[in-house]
Amino acid sequence: MTVRIVTLPGDGVGPEVTNQALAVLLTAAEEGGLDIAVEEFRIGGRAVDETGTPLPQETLDACRNADAVLLGAVGGPQWDHLVGDQRCESGLLQLRAGLGVFANLRPVRVHPNLADRSALRQEVVSGVDLVVVRELTGGAYFGRPKERTDQRAVDTTVYTRPEIERVARVAFRLAAGRRGRLTSVDKANVLATGQLWRATVSELAAEFPGVALEHALVDSFAMRLMQRPGDIDVVVTENLFGDILSDE
């Protein structure tokens, strides 16, 4: 059996890190007796320069037909003038939507030999092992219609119950196989989408009696993530919050 992998090196440091990751992957495959076929396609700024779009149709088609996709990075200062669907980041959004990759798993683990190198105190970060499950195909990044003039801009945040249910189930199952704790992060005290998020996740909890569910507001949770990261097991949250919190 041959495993087909599409690589999307993209821009900036993307080709360099993709080449190194691919070298490790091919070595591991050889050791394990796995046959891998690799094809490279364009995305981001390079794709804009060469095809006029950040995600050519041939790239999306190749990704849909592949067993796995290895992505580097997109964008750079030379493409910052682009707007709308021409922006390099738009290629990422289109790729996520086109492949239906709605759950982004972002693990955070501190290596014992590096605990003293953190900006946080060693006793705060030692032993940290958490996962952020970020919803990836909804929210403000995908809300339509978008609007922008010189004086006004509009982004819409939209979530449906099925979108929340499917990513929450991923998080519940992940927590069930770890330490059995799930934190759902929202802004239910202000946002209607946050209220729907909290209600939907709460209803799903009955399907996973072995998982202890708690809810947290995104602003206070951002502080808690810095103060007591070792207390956190699995986090599930919407697209924008997940982007920010996992970077934190």
pLDDT beyond 90 at 85:
no
Per-residue pLDDT tens digits for 97-118: 999 999 999 999 999 999 999 9
What CA–CA distance (Å, rounded) separates 45 from 48?
Answer: 5
Catalytic residue, candidates 141, 159, 186, 233: 141
Per-residue pLDDT tens digits for 121-133: 999 999 999 999 9
Catalytic residue, candidates 11, 186, 233, 243: 243
pLDDT at 166: 98
Note if 159 is an active site residue.
no
pLDDT at 18: 97
Q: Mean pLDDT for the chain?
A: 96
Band the pLDDT of 84: cuts 50, 70, 90: confident
Per-residue pLDDT tens digits for 201-232: 999 999 999 999 999 999 999 999 999 999 99
**Count of alpha carbons within 13 angstroms of residue 141, beta-carbon side:** 22
Instruction: Identify whether the C-beta of residue 45 lies closer than 8 Å to the C-beta of residue 15.
Output: no
Q: Between the CA of residue 65 and those of 98, 99, 101, 107, what are the distances in Å?
A: 12, 10, 14, 27
pLDDT at 158: 96
pLDDT beyond 90 at 20:
yes
pLDDT at 144: 83
- Full 3-state SS string of the chain: CEEEEEEEEECCCHHHHHHHHHHHHHHHHHHHCCEEEEEECCCCHHHHHHHCCCCCHHHHHHHHHCCEEEEEECCCHHHCCCCHHHCHHHHHHHHHHHHCCCEEEEEEECCHHHHHHCCCCHHHHCCCEEEEEEECCCHHHCCCCCEECCCCEECCCCCCHHHHHHHHHHHHHHHHCCCCEEEEEECCCCCHHHHHHHHHHHHHHHHCCCCEEEEEEHHHHHHHHHHCHHHCCEEEECHHHHHHHHHC
Catalytic residue, candidates 49, 116, 219, 231: 219
pLDDT beyond 90 at 79:
yes
pLDDT beyond 90 at 14:
yes
Say what the pTM is.
Answer: 0.91
pLDDT beyond 90 at 148:
no
Note if 219 is an active site residue.
yes
pLDDT beyond 90 at 19:
yes
pLDDT at 152: 94
Band the pLDDT of 16: cuts 50, 70, 90: very high
pLDDT at 1: 80
pLDDT (average), residues 144-150? 86
Under 8 Å CB-to-CB from 31, ≥6 apart: which residues? none
Band the pLDDT of 15: cuts 50, 70, 90: very high
Catalytic residue, candidates 11, 159, 186, 187: 187
Per-residue pLDDT tens digits for 30-75: 999 999 999 999 999 999 999 999 999 999 999 999 999 999 999 9
